[in-house]
Amino acid sequence: MEINEIISSGLLDSYAMGLCTEEENLQVQQWVQKYPEVAVELASIERSLEDYASAHALPASGSVKKNLFDQLGLDQSDAPVAKTISIGSRWKWLAAASIILFLASSVINFVLYNQYKKADDALASTTEALHTSLSQNKQMENDGKIISDPNSIPVSLKGLEAMPDAVAKIFWLQNSGDVFIDATSLPDAPEGKQYQFWAIVGGVPVNGGLILKTNKGSFHLQRMKSFGKAEAFAISLEKEGGSPTPTKVVSMGKII
């Protein structure tokens, strides 16, 4: 079993309460010796049980004692000394049994709540991962539609001498003029810098928008400003926030 499976199995809680079989006790002891994380978790459970028991331990009240005598059909005031001692001993055993049952019930509730909390946390984590996965799948599906569109013209942007590894790919839809960029291969921009996209229209660079940071290794197309026509596309490296004109062009590609 993995360490997380061991911790979430509930066996450590049962061991701490002394409810395990001999075989389970041996198994837990082996885990404790083998995995420091398990030993830490077991110690935490034992401390929690001790704190919980201490916080909820209550001395038997006079009413409890009276109820016990009433149920036994005995009168405390009229009982002889010898009989009182016997009754007192019996009362102590009954009171102790009641406290033990109360503590056992409290401990079981504590363990069940602990297991429920772990399961609830695991469910929340799994749900979040599922939502992330579904979102990524949806994005990939949309990217695929753009790439496979018959009107989509791919344009490769190659790095210039200033930054040879500044490569990217553009998908320009002829029918709508929409422009999408795959910037996942661009190197990280230096501190305080940001990439900016340009379309060359009539020999003049036209601002196409700032390129957002993307997760490396994950495919994602970013929509830029639309252009009805263009001869080429370029990327420049600017101060954060962009520039009205390109100051350092690092990548360019012509429409074939």
Residues 109 and 189 in one domain: no
Residues 79 and 47 in one domain: yes
Cβ contact 161:251 at 8 Å: no
Per the CB < 8 A criterion, the answer to whether 220 and 143 are in contact is yes
Question: End of a domain among 143, 173, 207?
Answer: 143
Considering the domain architecture, whether residues 95 and 164 belong to the same structural domain is answered as no
Beta 168-173 vs 193-201: how paired, if at all? Answer: unpaired
**DSSP secondary structure code for residue 19 in this structure:** -
Cα(39)–Cα(4) distance, integer angstroms? 13
How far apart, in whole angstroms, are the C-alpha atoms of residue 105 and residue 84?
31
Residues 128, 173: one domain? no
What pLDDT is stored for residue 103 in this prediction? 63
* Overall domain count for the chain: 2
pLDDT of residue 256: 73
Predicted confidence at residue 221, as pLDDT, reads 87
What pLDDT is attached to residue 177? 87
Residue 57 sits in the same domain as residue 173: no
Range of 173's domain?
152-254
Q: Which residues pair with 180 in a beta bridge?
A: 171, 223
- Scanning the structure block, which residue is given the tokens 């596309």? 233
Q: Are residues 90 and 113 in the same domain?
A: yes
Q: Does residue 29 contact residue 11 with C-beta atoms inside 8 Å? A: no
Task: Give the up-direction half-sphere exposure of residue 109: CA atoms within 13 A in the CB hemisphere.
Answer: 9
* Residue ending a domain, choose from 143, 170, 196: 143
- Are residues 168 and 235 in contact, defined by beta-carbon separation less than 8 angstroms? yes
Same structural domain for residues 18 and 138? yes
With pLDDT > 90 as the criterion, what percentage of the chain qualifies? 26
170: β partners: 155, 181
Q: Does residue 192 contact residue 239 with C-beta atoms inside 8 Å?
A: yes
Give the β-pairing of 179-182 and 168-173.
Answer: antiparallel
Domain boundary residue among 143, 160, 194? Answer: 143
Question: For the chain, which residues score pLDDT lower than 70?
Answer: 52-107, 110, 129-140, 213-219
Tell me: do 239 and 123 sit in the same domain. no
Q: Strand, coil or helix: what is 144?
A: helix
Contact predicate 178/145, CB 8 Å? no
The answer on 179 and 229 residing in a single domain is yes
